[in-house]
Structure 1
Amino acid sequence: MTHTYIPLDLYRRKWIFNHKDLPVTDQDKCAIRPLDEKSAMGVWNQWISNKSSRAEQFTKGDWAAKVDAWQQTEHWQSAWDSEDAGLPEPLAAFIPWPDDAPVYFCYEKYQIIETRWDVFVRNWKCFLFFDDGPLLISPKHKQAVMFEQSGQYKLGLRG
């Protein structure tokens, strides 16, 4: 599937990658690629849900709505608030993806950012300025993460 991207400078949420307290290198910015609405919809329909457009709407038939899809729940908020830039340890331990694995950070059906795993790891706090149920997936791997506004995240496997 070929995607169309929005230049990061034109992305309406670009400020999350330009925050003075969480600097993103120019090299990483080049690898943070927001999808246009049509491409985002295609990724969402293929990998997330062809019924629901956001996490709180997941219903029967959506893999993310299945209780057994999620293996453990952890907390991300304290790691986000800390001075440590590293991923929360349970998340880092759960995901064995290679640095160059393509990943999608899916805010909702029409808001998805494509990047690489190493870029996400270095800049995960920026992605979480919007924390209303985004999903992190890699099309080549089964592991998935759902971040919740409660400051928790769920680790699981896509069905």
Structure 2
Amino acid sequence: MYQALSLFSKSWIFKRQDPKVAPEDLAQIHFLTESKAEQIWRDYVSQDQLHPDLFTEFDWPKKVPEELEINKVQWEKAWDSDLLELPEAVLAHCHHWGEDTTVYFCCHNEQIFELSWGVFKRTWKAFLFLDNGPILVGKKKKQALQFHSNGWVNLLLR
């Protein structure tokens, strides 16, 4: 189910001093095996597309949720600042998620990380070195986030 984080080609993002990932948080970041990642991708993200770059207007991450007043938030300013928290609108979008909610940070169908929402909130700056469209989904939650390299995050509903 899990493989060593050192097998992730960009594991350096978790070893930097800025942003610093505490050892106790690092121990709770799990890099899924390819087969487990493929299963999570199919179950939570897409049965048809293998990478966020391939999404079409028919895939749920491309759909704008009509019930959300705000569906796009700037993350880059918070990332560049000394503030540690995710932007307030992101936290508000995921307010149903408890600290121990299992989340999946999905880069593509073979590269997914499993951790808790609490750990993600503390380590999000490290994860956003991988900002080419990854999707964060919560286990058994309808809210989702997609981070883009242009500094914006889409607030989504599955």
**TM-score scaled to structure 1, two decimals?**
0.92
Secondary structure, counterpart of 2:142 in structure 1: strand
2-structure distance, mates of 1:67, 1:88: 19
Cα contact 1:69–1:156 (8 A) shared by 2: no
Which runs of 5 or more residues in structure 2 are unaligned? none
Moved more, 5-14 or 21-30: 5-14
Partner of residue 42, structure 2: 45
RMSD, matched Cα: 1.5
**TM-score scaled to structure 2, two decimals?**
0.92
2-structure distance, mates of 1:70, 1:76: 21
After superposing on structure 2, the runs of 4+ consecutive aligned residues of structure 1 that deviate more than 3 Å are: 67-71
1:105-116 alignment, distance < 5 Å: 105-116=105-116
Residue 51 of structure 1 deviates from its aligned partner by 0.7
1:133-148 alignment, distance < 5 Å: 133-148=133-148
Which runs of 5 or more residues in structure 1 are unaligned? none
Residue 152 of structure 1 deviates from its aligned partner by 0.5
1:9-158 alignment, distance < 5 Å: 9-68=6-65, 71=68, 72-96=71-95, 97-158=97-158
Paired residues in the alignment total: 155
Identity %: 39
Cα deviation digits, residues 65-88 of structure 1 (max 9, x gap): 323379411100110000111111
Cα contact 2:56–2:62 (8 A) shared by 1: yes
Secondary structure, counterpart of 1:12 in structure 2: coil
Residue 130 of structure 1 deviates from its aligned partner by 1.1
